[in-house]
Amino acid sequence: MIKKKLFTPGPCEIPPSVFKAMSTIEHHRTSQFKKNILEIQKGLQYLFQTGQPVLTLSSSGTGAMEAAITNTFSPQDLVLVIDGGKFGERWGEISRCFGLEVITLQIPWGKAVEPSQIENIFEKHPTIKGVLIQACETSTGVAHPIEEIARFIKEKPNTLMVVDAISALLTMPLPMDEWGLDIVVAGSQKGLMLPPGLSFIALSQKASRFEAQSKLPRFYFDLKKEKQSLEESTTSYTTPVTLMLGLKEALRLICQKGLETIFETYNLYSRVVRTTIEAWGLKVFAEPGAPGMTAVCAPRNVSGTHIVKKLKENFDITIAAGQEDYKDKIFRLSYMGYIEPEDVFYLLESLQKVLLELKVPIHTKGVLEKAKSQLKL
Ligand SMILES: Cc1ncc(COP(=O)(O)O)c(C=O)c1O
């Protein structure tokens, strides 16, 4: 078996059949390609658990975040940004760039927002037009309580619940229609098992009403135009054909497995990784942690970046260091994408070797054996 090397929260490992599907080129305006677009649309609606159209944009995930803002809000609209890390901060940056008024709810890195904090802010600012949040804040590995917050926002006809699911889609349930999420954005390079380059966005009916009144300028990321193109089973501009062919195959694999099984797999992987980290005597950083990744507090006297470097040097494994102030304080393990139980075990086994080489005082007795049996290997 070829060993997987990429355990970062994007880009992620890609299945061989997806690589194969991408090894060809087609013209994007043919009737055959229209069939591909229709099939892809069905798969995306299944992933997003929505009856609304899911639009595919040619950009990394940030493009869809920008499109969410420019297509639904107007200058001076008041939005609430949940800023618990690098990507929460990005919602604030994009909003300010387009002239929105921003209230920032600063959450300590590694912690999730409490729904009551949001409710309290609404008491003082009932005119908030949007709550902008991450389902998984990738810089810290935290999962925010999306369902509870959405329940509160659902009752507010003049407020949108805008969810960045870029690192969450497929790793945890986020049923858009059932939970009443108004905008969901995602990217291709995480749970979807594709290279970077595509982003996705879906709007609820409430968000479409906002869209009709939004006054911000937009050109390339014009969702109304994209929706019209999709109705004709095409895209407004030249779509990245090879990525789309890969997407079609990735969706086939995902639908074959089923969302429930995929969520269970991520739950298993994160449980095994977390129990192993704790059994070694190390500390998991995020509370509560998202299922697709685990951020780990660096051991005393060893920096996170050093562990990242050693895993690369010794095993050619890539994991992610922390970001900003947490660059050396944490390191992040991810098992999003095409990762099987053997790969998770290989990651843990290699990490244990690195920790021992760095003379980190960890307990090892029976730890990997337990992980192996939890992974049913
Ligand atoms: C939660 C989250 N939001 C936004 C982004 C930005 O996406 P991109 O780098 O694809 O533009 C990322 C990327 O890691 C992410 O994990």
Report, as an integer, the average pLDDT of 253-274. 98
Express each pLDDT in 93-150 by its tens digit.
Answer: 999 999 999 999 999 999 999 999 999 999 999 999 999 999 999 999 999 999 999 9
pLDDT of residue 1: 63
Predicted model pTM: 0.98
Express each pLDDT in 293-324 by its tens digit.
Answer: 999 999 999 999 999 999 999 999 999 999 99
| Three-state helix/strand/coil letters over the chain | CCCCCECCCCCCECCHHHHHHCCCCCCCCCHHHHHHHHHHHHHHHHHHCCCCCEEEEECCHHHHHHHHHHHHCCCCCEEEEEECCHHHHHHHHHHHHCCCEEEEEECCCCECCCHHHHHHHHHHCCCCCEEEEECEECCCCEECCHHHHHHHHHCCCCCEEEEECCCCCCCCCCCHHHHCCCEEEEECCCCCCCCCCEEEEEECHHHHHHHHHCCCCCCCCCHHHHHHHHHCCCCCCCCCHHHHHHHHHHHHHHHHHCHHHHHHHHHHHHHHHHHHHHHHCCCECCECECCCEEEEECCCCCCHHHHHHHHHHHHCCECEECCHHHCCCEEEEECCECCCHHHHHHHHHHHHHHHHHCCCCCCCCCHHHHHHHHCCC
Answer yes or no: is the C-beta of 60 below 6 A from any ligand 1 atom. yes
Structural domains of the chain sorted by starting position, each given as residue range(s) with its CATH number in brackets: 16-257 (3.40.640.10), 259-374 (3.90.1150.10)
Determine the atom of ligand 1 nearest the C-alpha atom of 90.
4
Answer yes or no: is the C-beta of 140 below 6 A from any ligand 1 atom. no
pLDDT of residue 155: 97
What is the 197 CA–ligand 1 centroid distance (Å)? 11
What is the 109 CA–ligand 1 centroid distance (Å)? 17
Answer yes or no: is the C-beta of 59 below 6 A from any ligand 1 atom. no
Residue 3 has pLDDT above 90, yes or no: no
Which residue among 69, 142, 167, 190 is best mutated to probe the pocket of ligand 1, counting the most ligand atoms within 8 A of its Cβ? 167
Answer yes or no: is the C-beta of 84 below 6 A from any ligand 1 atom. no
